Structure 1
Amino acid sequence: MLFTNDTTPQLEYELVCLEQLVPQDHLLRNIDKYIDFNFIIDLVKPYYCENNGRPSLDPIVFFKMLLLGYLYDIPSERKLER
């Protein structure tokens, strides 16, 4: 079935604080602290149209997802999205 009409309410909520879950000395914290990913915007800017089309995923977010996949051996973008 292409579309579903699931009206089942969510019964539980869980509040999670990522600051408490990820140790301060974690590799990903260090990458985020020491690498400025803004250079990616300049690299990809010529490939984006400013006046038409739908907005895309932030190129920095996409790059970080691919970096995570490389570091943690996650070969699929779908698995990364989970």
Structure 2
Amino acid sequence: MLLMSVCLQEWLPSDHLAYFISDVVDHLDLSTIMRHYEDEERGYPPYHPRMMVKVLLYAYCIGVPSSRKIEKSFMRMLPFESEG
């Protein structure tokens, strides 16, 4: 069994693309999307919109446009985990 540090930031350099995307998305106005997210009561709770925007932007930037490939990458690649 491989044990990893709880702090994922220790595994990426401070100038990694994932941090840049995270900072950019943190400054975006997602209030319209957030309003629908916060009002939703049906079904399973959705993923947080800000996290999803970060994951999608990072995936597109590294050339992973397919949702299935994004899912597989999320399970295998550390930078994707830092976006969540």
Coarse TM-score class (shorter-chain normalised): 0.5 to 0.7
Aligned length: 70
| Residue ranges of structure 1 left out of the alignment (5+ in a row) | 1-11
Identity of aligned residues (%): 31
- Asked whether 1:76 is paired with 2:66, we answer yes
SS at match of 1:56: coil
Q: TM-score by structure 1 length?
A: 0.60
Paired letter, 2:21: I
Deviation of 1:33 after TM superposition, in Å, equals: 3.3
Cα distance, 1:58 vs. partner?
Answer: 1.1
Task: Identify, as 1 or 2, the structure richer in helix.
Answer: 2
After TM superposition, the structure 1 = structure 2 runs for residues 8-19 of structure 1, keeping only pairs within 5 Å, are 12-16=1-5, 17-19=7-9
Deviation at 1:35, TM superposition (A): 4.3
Corresponding residue for residue 20 of structure 2:
30
User: 1:47: Cα distance to partner?
Assistant: 6.8
- Map 1:56-71 → 2, pairs under 5 A: 56-71=46-61
Q: CA deviation at 1:76?
A: 1.5
Larger Rg: 1
**1:21 is aligned to 2:6:** no
Please state if 1:43 is matched with 2:51: no
Instruction: State the AA in 2 paired with 1:64.
Output: K
Partner Cα distance (1:38, 1:46) in 2: 16
